[in-house]
């Protein structure tokens, strides 16, 4: 049986997220792998991948907030919103009046719940086709704005030119962004530039964190071994509840069990995911997690079974 758990990968720039999974298939001798939160080809950083039954938990990983750093290039905009794309706009002014203080002054308007139009080169579907596929074929289309949440956005340094710039930038800044699922850093760079009365694109996107999991705990694909497999409770911070053999047998059959004990760290207002559920891991007498359950007043209801059939 395929080992079930999570792998923390540090994807290198220039590698697709799909290709980053190849070492998992080789090391664990399975095609049953998946990942949460695709990174752009040019982006680097943390990908949380899963093998076996843990792939069922990837939607919960993907819903976690994420932390990125990126370099903002002010002065031009490209079709891909990356620093080396085809130029679509260039600021022709000799010395545009935009300072670091100006950039800092507009950051608050991008925090909290905002609407963002995705880049045209993205995986969003338009009439069943990927937007990026349509863009590559020169098709004209418009993407609808999507609601996202930016928890924090700050300047962490003044950057330098990135090799391969296709336009002329008059200033570059390195920023850090903590945001929700569905946020496009490239689109954020575009919108920051426009808010400053100029144009913007980005380079050096790197994802540092997903939820409480840091890229510092990740491994490069070429260094991956079976020992890097992490248990589900090491990645998802659901509380763990131990059940008796009889209780676990009921859960395994898809039925709920009575539960009137308090669960530390969970109330009906905590531990919720996008679905509005309060979730817990349930473990057998040896402490091995076997399922995810929904916590309701007076009972635990099976949500996802992870153990052997």
User: What mean pLDDT value characterizes the chain?
Assistant: 91
Q: Find out whether 45 and 207 touch, Cβ atoms under 8 Å.
A: yes
Q: Among the options 10, 40, 91, 191, which is catalytic?
A: 40
- Identify the structural domains of the chain with CATH numbers, from first to last: 5-64+211-234 (3.30.2350.10), 66-210 (3.30.2350.10), 238-305 (2.30.130.10)
Dihedral Cα 157, 161, 164, 166, nearest 10 deg? 100
- Residues, the chain: 309
Long-range contacts: 85-92, Cβ < 8 Å, 24+? 85/166, 85/201, 86/166, 87/166, 87/167, 89/199, 90/167, 90/168, 90/199, 91/168, 91/170, 91/198, 91/199
Q: Find out whether 48 and 207 touch, Cβ atoms under 8 Å.
A: no
Tokens of 262: 């308090």
Per-residue pLDDT of the chain (309 residues; tens, 9 = 90+): 678 899 999 999 999 999 999 999 999 998 889 999 889 999 999 999 999 999 999 999 999 999 999 999 999 999 999 999 999 999 998 888 899 999 999 999 999 999 999 999 888 888 888 888 888 888 888 899 999 999 999 999 998 888 999 999 999 999 999 999 999 999 999 999 999 999 999 999 999 999 999 999 999 999 999 999 999 999 999 999 999 999 999 999 999 999 988 888 775 544 344 445 789 999 998 889 999 999 988 999 999 999 875
Per-residue model confidence (pLDDT) at position 97: 84
Alpha carbon distance 309, 296 (integer Å): 25
Per-residue model confidence (pLDDT) at position 267: 58
Alpha carbon distance 250, 25 (integer Å): 34
Per the annotation, the verdict on 40 as an active-site residue is yes
Other beta carbons within 10 Å of 234: 13
Summarize pLDDT for 250-288 with one digit per residue, the tens: 999 999 999 988 888 775 544 344 445 789 999 998 889
Per-residue model confidence (pLDDT) at position 270: 41
């Amino acid at each position: 049986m395929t080992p079930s758990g999570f792998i923390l990968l540090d994807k290198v720039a220039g590698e697709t997220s799909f290709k980053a999974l190849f070492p998992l298939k080789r090391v664990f001798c399975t095609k049953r792998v998946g990942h949460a939160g695709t990174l752009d080809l040019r982006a680097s950083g943390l990908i949380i991948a899963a093998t076996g039954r843990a792939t069922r938990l990837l939607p919960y990983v993907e819903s976690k907030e994420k932390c990125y750093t990126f370099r903002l290039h002010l002065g031009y905009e490209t079709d891909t919103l990356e620093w080396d794309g085809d130029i679509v706009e260039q600021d022709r002014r000799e010395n545009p009046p935009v300072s670091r203080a100006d950039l800092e002054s507009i950051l608050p308007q991008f925090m909290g719940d905002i609407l963002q139009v995705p880049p045209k080169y993205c995986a969003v579907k338009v009439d069943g086709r990927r937007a990026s596929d349509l863009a590559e074929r020169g098709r004209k289309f418009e993407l609808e704005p999507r609601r996202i949440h930016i928890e924090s956005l700050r300047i962490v340094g003044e950057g330098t030119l990135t090799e391969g710039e296709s336009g002329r930038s008059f200033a570059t800044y390195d920023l850090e962004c903590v945001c929700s699922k569905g946020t496009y850093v490239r689109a954020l760079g575009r919108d920051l530039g426009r808010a400053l009365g100029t144009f913007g694109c980005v380079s050096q996107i790197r994802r540092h964190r997903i939820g409480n999991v840091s890229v510092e705990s990740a491994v490069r694909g070429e260094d991956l071994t079976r020992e890097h497999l992490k248990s589900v409770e090491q990645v998802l911070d659901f509380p763990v509840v131990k059940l008796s053999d009889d209780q676990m047998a009921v859960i395994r059959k898809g039925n709920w069990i009575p539960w009137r004990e308090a669960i530390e760290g969970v109330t009906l207002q905590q531990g919720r995911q996008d679905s509005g559920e309060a979730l817990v891991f349930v473990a057998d007498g040896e402490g091995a997690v076997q399922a995810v359950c929904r916590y309701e007043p007076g009972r635990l209801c099976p949500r996802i079974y992870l153990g052997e059939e």
